[in-house]
Amino acid sequence: MAHVVTSKCEGCKFTDCVEVCPVACFYELNGQLVIHPDDCIDCTACVAECPVEAIYAQESVPDTYQANIELNATEARRVKDGGQEAIVKKKDPLPTADQRKSELGY
């Protein structure tokens, strides 16, 4: 089972998680990150690094975010198959990150 980035990441795109990933399974979309389900080794290293708690084990994704399981799989495969490299270095979050983090209660 892979881990999943939920839509809590949307509008934030904190990338603290990518630096602890031992297998480079994170891919970048315009508004958030996604995890490639075939590359994730389920190590859990990324979970504690997310400042908005957007990452869950697939089997533990709350009902509200169930659609994000398919989004991660589809979008990660699309961008990887399109030639985009996995993101492995921390980048600046989106300009809306602090506001989004506050809205989420973190």
3-85 under CATH 3.30.70.20, yes or no? yes
What is the average pLDDT score of the chain? 96
pLDDT at residue 99 tops 90: yes
pLDDT band of residue 1 (cuts 50, 70, 90) is confident
Position 13 scores a pLDDT of: 96
Residues whose CB falls within 8 Å of the CB of residue 12, separated by 6 or more in sequence, listed in order: 32, 51, 52, 54, 93, 94, 96, 97, 100, 101
- Which DSSP state fits 99? H
| pTM across the whole model | 0.94
